[in-house]
Every structure is written in structure tokens, then in C-alpha cells.
Amino acid sequence: MSVATVTAGPRRGWRSFATWFGAAIVGIASICALFAPWLVPYDPFAQDLGKRLLVPFWMEGHVPGHVLGTDQLGRDYLSRLIWGCRISMLIGVTVTIVSGLIGITLGVLGGFVGGRVDDAVLFAITTRLSIPVVLVALAVVALLGSSMTLLVLILGLLLWDRFAVVARSTTMQVRHLDFVAAAWCAGCSRFRILVREVLPNIASHLVVVATLEVALAILLEAALSFLGLGVPPPLPSWGLMIAEAKDYMFFSPWVIVIPGVALFVLVLGINLLGDGLRDMFGTRSDP
């Protein structure tokens, strides 16, 4: 892992297209998330048992008005999809903030102070990696009852490892550079050096990690909700939508295809954007 250097120019061809594609998806998802209450054509929670499992627009027998059809309780699928985007993005971003705070603090501390403190941080990372995330998250949610806040806290407490690893190794490299030595000589305090010299120089790496973590948190939330121990119903989390529609998937496959494609495309978009940022910052090095 090398420290960010200004090497990479503008990207051309396929890679540039991939980055823009990712950025576009993330942009659309952000708009859906922020303006969901105004974008939904119907109330995503309103049931209409007379209109159950209407088919989407590309299939025969489509009812105009419900572009993506309706679910098993007659709720408009497009509205639930948009609302689900809000939930996914909210979970992804908040989990990343929580895990980022924990991971970056630990990583920078270990990398900057070194010695015993660093040993402790490494030990914490090793321990964290040995804990089966899905299992522990499921158990905690089952014990304490499902809610968005709990989900964010538990995932945040479980997903800080990559932040810590990257913050630690980059801090170690920055720590020995000349401008840090200069700051020491100028009599700057430890805290000031950390905040003014170290953090800005490892920030680009952390941004790349953050994109990966948003994507990971979204996938995990979907998996937990799919297992029935994530976001509580009737909230239209994409994972929960797939779980609820599972009983109908053999007769109407589109009920699981639509939320699944949304989940896949959003995560792919975030990862493409993250890859693009990594190239832009010239920080491509970790596998």
C-alpha cells in the first residue's frame, strides 16, 4: 500500500465509462433516497387486495398505472422499490459513518503510536475478523428486537475492520514522511499533527474504503432482512421484499427479480465508483 501520490490523470475508454456509470447509479439512488416521499407514485404501504400481484409493464396483462406491478398484498412495486432505495442508502451511509469512526480511530491510533497500543489494535482487528458477522448480527437482532437504529449500530460495530487496517497501514507510512517530522520540529502537538498532517494525507484511502463499506453494509442489511431479522416489516427493504415474495417466485419470478436487480445494480454502481476513485487518487495497490 503506497501513500497517495498525484500520478493518475483522467481515465479514458472503458474505465472512465465504468466510473461514470457507477457515479450515475449512485446519483440516481441518492435522489431516490432523498426525495422518496415525493417520487413515489403510490403510498408504498397502502394495500389493495383487489390488485394483488399485477404484472410489470413488459408482461402481457399489464395494468397501466402500476409500472412494475404490485406485490402479494397489492402494494405498488415501484413505490416500494423507491422507498427501499431510501432504506438501503440510509443503512449503507450510517453504518459506514459508525464503522468509520471506530475503525479510523483505532487504525490511526495504532499506526501513529505504535508499540503496545498497536499490538492491541492488531489484536482487536484479528478478533473482529474471527467473529461470524451474519450470525452475531442475527442473534443480537433476535434478542433485542429489530429496528433500524439497532441494525445500524450492530453492523457499525461489526464492519470497522477494513477501515482500521487501511488507516493503520497508511498512517504508518505517513508518520515517517518529512512534513510530519517538520511539524514535530515546529513544536506542534500530537493531536494537531494527527488532525492537520496525518488525517488529510490518508483521507483518499479512507474514501475508497468507505465506498466498499457502503456496498457491503447494503448487501448485509438485505441478507439480514431476507432472513427476517433485519429491517422490520412493513418497511420495504429490498431484502425483505425478496423474502416476502419468495412464496410466489415459482409462478411469478419477476417478484424477486425486480428488487434483486435493484440491489445488484446499486451495489455494482457503488463498487464501480469506488474503483474509479481509487484510480483517480492513484491509490490502487491493495488486492
Contact residues: another protein, CB under 8 A: 14, 123, 126-127, 129-136, 138-140, 142-144, 215, 219, 222-223, 226-227, 229, 239, 242, 246, 249-250, 253, 256-257, 260, 263-265, 267-268, 271-272, 275, 287
The residue among 5 and 130 lying less far from another protein, judged by its C-beta, is 130
Question: In angstroms, what is the minimal distance from the CB of 81 to another protein?
Answer: 14
The residue among 40 and 224 lying less far from another protein, judged by its C-beta, is 224
Question: In angstroms, what is the minimal distance from the CB of 287 to another protein?
Answer: 5
- What lies within 8 Å, CB to CB, of 26 at 6+ separation is 266, 269, 270, 273
The residue among 193 and 276 lying less far from another protein, judged by its C-beta, is 276
Question: In angstroms, what is the minimal distance from the CB of 12 to another protein?
Answer: 12
The residue among 128 and 205 lying less far from another protein, judged by its C-beta, is 128
Among candidate residues 241, 169, 155, the one with its CA nearest the CA of residue 201? 169
Residue 273 vs residues 20, 125, 213: alpha-carbon distances, Å: 7, 27, 13
Which three three-digit cell numbers place residue 80?
416500494
Question: In angstroms, what is the minimal distance from the CB of 219 to another protein?
Answer: 6
Question: In angstroms, what is the minimal distance from the CB of 85 to another protein?
Answer: 15
Which three three-digit cell numbers place residue 192?
494537531
Question: In angstroms, what is the minimal distance from the CB of 20 to another protein?
Answer: 15
The residue among 40 and 102 lying less far from another protein, judged by its C-beta, is 102
The residue among 113 and 219 lying less far from another protein, judged by its C-beta, is 219
| Torsion, Cα of 85, 87, 92, 95 (10° steps) | 180
Question: In angstroms, what is the minimal distance from the CB of 222 to another protein?
Answer: 6
Please measure the distance between the N-terminal and C-terminal CA atoms of the chain and give it in whole angstroms.
Answer: 9
The residue among 67 and 268 lying less far from another protein, judged by its C-beta, is 268
The residue among 95 and 263 lying less far from another protein, judged by its C-beta, is 263
Question: In angstroms, what is the minimal distance from the CB of 218 to another protein?
Answer: 9
CB neighbourhood size of 225 (10 A): 30
Query: Longest C-alpha distance within the chain, in Å?
Result: 76
Write the single-letter amino acid at 82: I
